Amino acid sequence: MAGNSFGSIFKLTTFGESHGEAIGGVIDGCPAGLKLDFDAIEAEMNRRKPGQSAIVTQRKEPDTVQFLSGIFEGITTGTPIGFIIANANQKSKDYSHIKDTYRPSHADYTYDKKYGIRDHRGGGRSSARETACRVAAGAIAKQLLKEIKITAYVSGVGELKLKKDYSELDFSEIEKNPVRCADPAMAVQMETYIKEIRKQGDTVGGMVTCVIQNVPAGLGEPVFDKLHAELGKAMLSINAVKGFEYGSGFKGTQLKGSQHNDLFNEDGSTTTNHSGGIQGGISNGADIYFSVAFKPVATLMQKQETINSDGEKVEMEGKGRHDPCVVPRAVPIVEAMAALVLADFWLLNKNAKL
Amino acid sequence: MAGNSFGSIFKLTTFGESHGEAIGGVIDGCPAGLKLDFDAIEAEMNRRKPGQSAIVTQRKEPDTVQFLSGIFEGITTGTPIGFIIANANQKSKDYSHIKDTYRPSHADYTYDKKYGIRDHRGGGRSSARETACRVAAGAIAKQLLKEIKITAYVSGVGELKLKKDYSELDFSEIEKNPVRCADPAMAVQMETYIKEIRKQGDTVGGMVTCVIQNVPAGLGEPVFDKLHAELGKAMLSINAVKGFEYGSGFKGTQLKGSQHNDLFNEDGSTTTNHSGGIQGGISNGADIYFSVAFKPVATLMQKQETINSDGEKVEMEGKGRHDPCVVPRAVPIVEAMAALVLADFWLLNKNAKL
Amino acid sequence: MAGNSFGSIFKLTTFGESHGEAIGGVIDGCPAGLKLDFDAIEAEMNRRKPGQSAIVTQRKEPDTVQFLSGIFEGITTGTPIGFIIANANQKSKDYSHIKDTYRPSHADYTYDKKYGIRDHRGGGRSSARETACRVAAGAIAKQLLKEIKITAYVSGVGELKLKKDYSELDFSEIEKNPVRCADPAMAVQMETYIKEIRKQGDTVGGMVTCVIQNVPAGLGEPVFDKLHAELGKAMLSINAVKGFEYGSGFKGTQLKGSQHNDLFNEDGSTTTNHSGGIQGGISNGADIYFSVAFKPVATLMQKQETINSDGEKVEMEGKGRHDPCVVPRAVPIVEAMAALVLADFWLLNKNAKL
Amino acid sequence: MAGNSFGSIFKLTTFGESHGEAIGGVIDGCPAGLKLDFDAIEAEMNRRKPGQSAIVTQRKEPDTVQFLSGIFEGITTGTPIGFIIANANQKSKDYSHIKDTYRPSHADYTYDKKYGIRDHRGGGRSSARETACRVAAGAIAKQLLKEIKITAYVSGVGELKLKKDYSELDFSEIEKNPVRCADPAMAVQMETYIKEIRKQGDTVGGMVTCVIQNVPAGLGEPVFDKLHAELGKAMLSINAVKGFEYGSGFKGTQLKGSQHNDLFNEDGSTTTNHSGGIQGGISNGADIYFSVAFKPVATLMQKQETINSDGEKVEMEGKGRHDPCVVPRAVPIVEAMAALVLADFWLLNKNAKL
């Protein structure tokens, strides 16, 4: 209701502000008997954490997940998995300059309007730091899903667009470059561009594409909880996201039905996949793929005019260590949210028929 | 859980198959004391119903909403509003040709995989007929929202794109043309194109843009239930939708932060609105606007090869009366879903602060 | 949220007022593939319906359930099962005398305080007529549960208490007498007493005991959704219920642990069953049993002083056809609610472990 | 779904096992702007904590609540309030004797059946230690409810029953004796009896009665979420509870309607209160009162025969420090759960009417 839970059977609830003592979460509904690979969880956390490369924020946050419950001798017990991630690097003094200031295109103003009070330090609850909890939970969801393979990569940075279809790409390239672009040549261009933008004290938007493979047919719940509707909500709930499309997406609107329909092979597979692996909100067994649009980071390392809470014009300039472009670090977040959606539908589907 | 409910406080649950006796729904959580305008509800139903113009399906369905409860002497009582819409024009025999056939890019195959059984007549539960219930409920939500004004219009048909910003358009034009395009000249082009497509026995995709005005600041629930995330889910849950973007959307990914940030005026409004009226998932009082991508209708009036449930190749051809392009009739559905989202967040927000 | 839904996976939502056009409901989450026995559903409806014997209200309501969706050729399809039950015998004029009157110990006053408006005819939404929908849904839940056997019977009418343990009773006696008491001799006494009470224009309270057999171990969800907590809520949600106890119940409070503990046999069964088949909120495989307290019906066929909505003293007398004692007709309602609880936990439990 | 959340708008999710690193919870939906009294929270924790008197377990657990989020400068911010309570006194070695043993009338057996794995140390998730989180959250709920006064007291220990009506009692006596009985003379008897029972290495059951005063009319949601149904569920979810009754309760079943009906005064109050402050599931403004039955603690300080997980007979004896009777410490838990129910309905009710 108050918006801090996601999922129905496999349900994540998160809490925590950027500069409080800790952020954390509770995963309720993870079946008992799952032997956890903690190294794999840590690996996901490291893909999201600040300071991992030269093109992301240089903040140092170890982002170690401390599990408090729901796991016994390395195996899930069916009881809620509570966890916290300490905010080791709080440095609250850095944020006194925005205490009464509404940063442009941030949530400062809207939180104030909604709640009448806010923890201004580092954006408080609206900070993308919260997504660390999503990555932790998503890492467990991935382990639950086993054969289902979720792969995201950067497909756009500013005007640089990766035009290749995902089937033409070698996913093993993704983690080899700091941009997490699946195409090495494009990765170099993107990296160069991000560095240039950072030098300008500016930021830039980008795109992430995600492919989900080995999905069994039947996942997703009509009518309102269609698989792509939940994926869409999941992605749009990530900070800075402005759009979502799956399968043929926005380009599909320009096609005729005779071009767009995916014709069946005799085994139930299809000759094309404009559907993006989903028909009527339910997976059909083909690859699911979708793209997510991220706006440029709003915190700039240059002067901007804005207002304070008294409605007076003030000038401000970003301090501290911010990302010039979020998409490299958004890749594991997109995967985590996709994993949460899939895990939930996978469990739900056990009751679809007798 | 099973996907047939939408909303938390103002909650719609729908039921019904295309060719069962009736479809219907229950609206739970509508506050008591709302005097209903039944003519306004009927007007919304008429905007969605088949047969309303030469460019939509010529099926005749009166789509009269019969309210069974929750209303006393024209006023809501706070108890659940149950309603049914008779399926007057069932003609089930029309559908015997698809009984064992999986129509390309329909939900026949996936429903079979998920449930092991399906009501094949007219698509059963996967038919867009279900959206009539959404329009009925949305019409009540609109009345609850009073000053909040929700306006959708067709902004694309195939490759014909309405390039104008919504602020340049005269919304009073929308209902004057059968396409529901806000630009009269473009409307004529679109209408001509749809007729041409229909003659070919083909179909075409399109886009709907929606603008929500007079929204108070503070609506939307962080973190997972951001206002735009729920709007996105709501839109993606509509049949044939492939994408959603709000504010600067996919184009915003190409901008720099210094171009994209919306600078504040002293009154808290902003000089630009790339944010689309939402910051951090919460409305800021500016206009909310978003676009929705619809794929071309999958039922063609031409021969297509497909398979039956035994995996044998068969040939089929659409029969009956189908839409060559869904977007004209999708306009009231988009508005209805937006109204459901807004009504729910408006009620939820009453408990945001003491 | 607004209180008209019950269950999580197997979820019933009901709507309708006593004297509206119809009452009805939606069952969402019933798995596909359940072949329904409609005669069995009707039989349950007949156990609840008015006019079935000389000791219940003589109203005539056929209470036929009309299924509108979710069933195809007699088999559930996994889509929501919508149904309505017409209010054939509305006679609204009967209720004009209570339009502005608050009947003692009814919900007239509280509905007015809560909603500011109410459908006064026959109690509107607060009427026990609503329970017909529960019985219809419960009848389907029973069919889903197959081997799990749910049996309720009257165990008290006024001061007449059936002291025997359920294991001493012959359940086949229950439906042989109009009171639905499992002990024939006590049934005669109870029937005589109810008739006497009715002659006085008075009413009397009573008790229903319910036994659930063949329950697999493992049903119920700690911590808040313990099996007995949901059973308790289910029972307390039935009109006129004032108390719930399971296993040793209130008497168990007087025992010592050394008397109360159920010792294990080697097969995991226990030598006694003070636990009532539930340990830590989870079924242990033993019989579940509980008792439900019903207050006397508030509508009397004698003069009572009360107030109207202006706070003026008025005199009123029950008209129409009311039950002198609800427990005979409550028996199928108790069973239905127990079935809804069990069905939901049975489905939920499929995801307890890998 | 998985049972670890309670409430809809004001929602508590708890996690943690008795002997894990910490237990904790998340309160989502507490409105912003509530200035918290942390001393009052600590005072509630102290009422529940072990070692507080000679008649409760002598374990030492400081039970300090560490708030991690959702509070800024002492005031709630509307974002989720995450908290943990360290398990300072773990002593896991104490529990090796029950690793493979199913203790009689505990949840060991059922957890094993449900999950196939369990954290056996101190009962793991099934331990009443979890209720510390409820008391912490309830303490905040109480502060939200302000004028609504919730008072519980011990009304029975074994066969010792406090027969006086709550209106005859002086609530200021409750905290003056270690039993938390509102009647000083009875408190002495109860204390003596509990000490005797403890000497025997035995335990005994008891009763808690709770009174809620200054409740506005209108709280509670028909039909399934009646105020007393949620209170009943809340109480039955507390460890060791076997029964719940409100208002006239089980005794009310013996009355006639002419005796039981509460007649109205001209101001809408009633001359009697058999209703227990609730009509049709909605508060009427009168005092709400109910009683809760607790079974004797299952852990005895004497030898008992039981089985291990291989189905072999073994002998066991309780070790460590256990309560001979839970009711003195259950008093604040009953109040906390009542506060959670009331807070949720109070917030929900803001949307009952326009």
Distance CA C25, CA C15 (A): 6
User: For chain B, which residues score pLDDT lower than 70?
Assistant: 89-94, 320
Residue of C nearest to A146 (CA): C354
Cα separations in angstroms, A23 against A124, C20, C317, D68? 11, 51, 62, 7
**E strand intervals along chain D:** 5-6, 11-15, 22-28, 65-67, 71-72, 75-76, 81-86, 101-102, 149-157, 160-161, 206-213, 241-246, 278-279, 282-283, 288-294, 303-308, 313-317
Written as six digits, the tokens of A340 are 């949460």
**HEC string of chain B?**
CCCCEECCCCEEEEECCCCCCEEEEEEECCCECCECCHHHHHHHHHHHCCCCCCCCCCCCCCCCEEECCCEECCEECCCCEEEEEECCCCCHHHHHHHCCEECCCCCHHHHHHHHCCCCCHHHHHHCHHHHHHHHHHHHHHHHHHCCCEEEEEEEEECCEECCCCHHHCCHHHHHHCCCCECCHHHHHHHHHHHHHHHHCCCCECEEEEEEEECCCCCCCECCCECHHHHHHHHHHCCCCEEEEEECCHHHHHHCEHHHHCCCECCCCCECCCCCCCEECCEECCCCEEEEEEECCCCCCCCEEEEEECCCCEEEEECCCCCCCCCHHHHHHHHHHHHHHHHHHHHHHHHHCEC
Distance CA D205, CA B14 (A): 48
Give residue C347's region: left, alpha or beta (phi > 0; psi -120 to 50): alpha
The reply to whether residue D78 touches residue B352, judged by beta carbons under 8 angstroms, is yes
At B347, give phi and psi (nearest 5°). Answer: -70, -45
Instruction: Please report the pLDDT score of residue D57 as a whole number.
Output: 84
Mean pLDDT of the region A152-180? 97
- Measure D80 CA to nearest chain A CA, in Å: 5
Written as six digits, the tokens of A228 are 């792509």
Distance CA A183, CA A295 (A): 22
Above 0.85 for ipTM, yes or no? yes
Expressed in angstroms, the distance from the first to the final Cα of chain D is 31
The reply to whether residue B8 touches residue C24, judged by beta carbons under 8 angstroms, is no
Q: Which residues pair with B15 in a beta bridge?
A: B24
Instruction: Please report the pLDDT score of residue A196 as a whole number.
Output: 96
Asked whether the predicted pLDDT for residue D284 surpasses 90, the reply is yes
Instruction: Please report the pLDDT score of residue B176 as a whole number.
Output: 97
Percent of chain A past pLDDT 70, that is, above it, reads 98
Task: Return the minimum-mean-pLDDT range out of B46-60, B227-241, C224-238, D42-56.
Answer: B46-60
pLDDT, greater one: A90 or A346: A346
Instruction: Please report the pLDDT score of residue B90 as a whole number.
Output: 62
Which residues does A48 contact at the CB level (< 8 Å), separation at least 6? A63, A131, A132, A135, A329, A332, A333
Asked whether the predicted pLDDT for residue C92 surpasses 70, the reply is no
Q: Categorize the per-residue pLDDT at C94 as very low, low, confident or very high, splitting at 50, 70 and 90.
A: low
Instruction: Please report the pLDDT score of residue B57 as a whole number.
Output: 84
Task: Return the minimum-mean-pLDDT range out of A289-293, C99-103, C198-202.
Answer: C99-103
Distance CA A17, CA A1 (A): 19
Reported as a single tens digit per residue, the pLDDT across A310-339 is 999 999 887 767 899 999 999 999 999 999
- Per DSSP, A277 falls in state T
Instruction: Please report the pLDDT score of residue D292 as a whole number.
Output: 98
Q: Categorize the per-residue pLDDT at A128 as very low, low, confident or very high, splitting at 50, 70 and 90.
A: very high
Cβ of residue B350 closer than 8 Å to a chain A Cβ = no
- Which residues in chain A have Cβ-Cβ distances shorter than 8 Å to C31? 351-354
The reply to whether residue A300 touches residue B257, judged by beta carbons under 8 angstroms, is yes
The secondary element (H helix, E strand) that includes residue A279 is strand A278-279
State the best of C9, C11, C351, C353 to mutate against chain A, taking most chain A CBs within 10 Å. Answer: C351
Written as six digits, the tokens of C290 are 């509980």
Instruction: Please report the pLDDT score of residue D272 as a whole number.
Output: 97
Percent of chain C past pLDDT 90, that is, above it, reads 85
Partner D, chain A 25-64, Cβ-Cβ below 8 Å? 25-26, 28-29, 32-33
Q: Categorize the per-residue pLDDT at C91 as very low, low, confident or very high, splitting at 50, 70 and 90.
A: low
Instruction: Please report the pLDDT score of residue B322 as a whole number.
Output: 83
Instruction: Please report the pLDDT score of residue D160 as a whole number.
Output: 98
Distance CA B345, CA B215 (A): 11
Instruction: Please report the pLDDT score of residue A89 as a whole number.
Output: 65
The reply to whether residue B2 touches residue C8, judged by beta carbons under 8 angstroms, is no
Asked whether the predicted pLDDT for residue C319 surpasses 90, the reply is no
Partner B, chain C 85-124, Cβ-Cβ below 8 Å? 114-119, 124
Which residues does A27 contact at the CB level (< 8 Å), separation at least 6? A10, A11, A12, A70, A80, A81, A83, A137, A140
Asked whether the predicted pLDDT for residue D210 surpasses 90, the reply is yes
Which residue's entry shows tokens 């240039």?
A196
- Which residues in chain C have Cβ-Cβ distances shorter than 8 Å to B75? 117
Q: Which domains are delineated in chain A?
A: 5-351 (3.60.150.10)
pLDDT, greater one: D249 or B321: D249
Written as six digits, the tokens of D149 are 């006064």
Distance CA A87, CA A65 (A): 11
- Full DSSP string of D93-109: GGGGGGTTEE-TTSSHH
Provide the pairing of β-strand C313-317 with A5-6.
unpaired
Report the candidate in D233, D204, D208, D181 with the shortest Cα–Cα distance to residue D333: D208
How high does pLDDT run on average in chain C? Answer: 94
How high does pLDDT run on average in chain D? Answer: 94
Cβ of residue C285 closer than 8 Å to a chain A Cβ = no
Reported as a single tens digit per residue, the pLDDT across B39-53 is 999 999 999 998 888
Mean pLDDT of the region D259-283? 97
Q: Categorize the per-residue pLDDT at C58 as very low, low, confident or very high, splitting at 50, 70 and 90.
A: confident
Task: Return the minimum-mean-pLDDT range out of A207-216, B334-343, C197-206, D303-312.
Answer: D303-312
